[in-house]
């Protein structure tokens, strides 16, 4: 079993990559490439069983306690509906 702090570190790394794509100017990262990369990053979590997606959302929300930008990521990736945003 992988320790939770390892999972949380991986979530933080993925969020850092998403933040880079989201916050980069058009001169730094082609907008179409940023969208494609974000879609590719979203695909594996969307394929998870519901319980695992819920655990991932909980970890993202934990990071969101320290990083306001991360709070919207579950909705942005399609992991939760608009009604589930906290």
Report the domain count for the chain.
1
Nearest to 36 by CA among 57, 14, 21: 21
Nearest to 70 by CA among 14, 24, 7: 14
Would residue 78 be called left, alpha or beta, if left means φ above 0 and alpha means ψ between -120 and 50 degrees?
left
Average pLDDT over residues 1-15: 91
Average pLDDT over residues 2-27: 94
Looking at residue 4, its pLDDT comes to 87
Q: What range defines the domain where residue 74 resides?
A: 4-84
18-38 pLDDT per residue, tens: 999 999 999 999 999 999 999
Q: Does pTM surpass 0.85?
A: yes
Return d(Cα 12, Cα 9) in angstroms, integer: 5
In 7-76, at which residue ranges do the beta strands (DSSP E only) sit?
Answer: none
Mean per-residue pLDDT over the chain, rounded: 92
């Amino acid at each position: 079993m992988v320790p939770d702090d390892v999972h949380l570190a991986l979530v933080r790394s993925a969020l850092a990559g998403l933040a880079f794509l989201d916050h980069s100017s058009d001169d730094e990262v082609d907008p179409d490439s940023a969208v494609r990369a974000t879609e590719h990053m979203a695909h594996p979590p969307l394929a998870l069983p519901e319980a695992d997606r819920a655990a991932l959302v909980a970890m993202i929300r934990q990071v969101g306690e320290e990083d306001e930008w991360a709070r919207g990521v579950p909705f942005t990736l399609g992991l939760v509906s608009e009604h589930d945003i906290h």
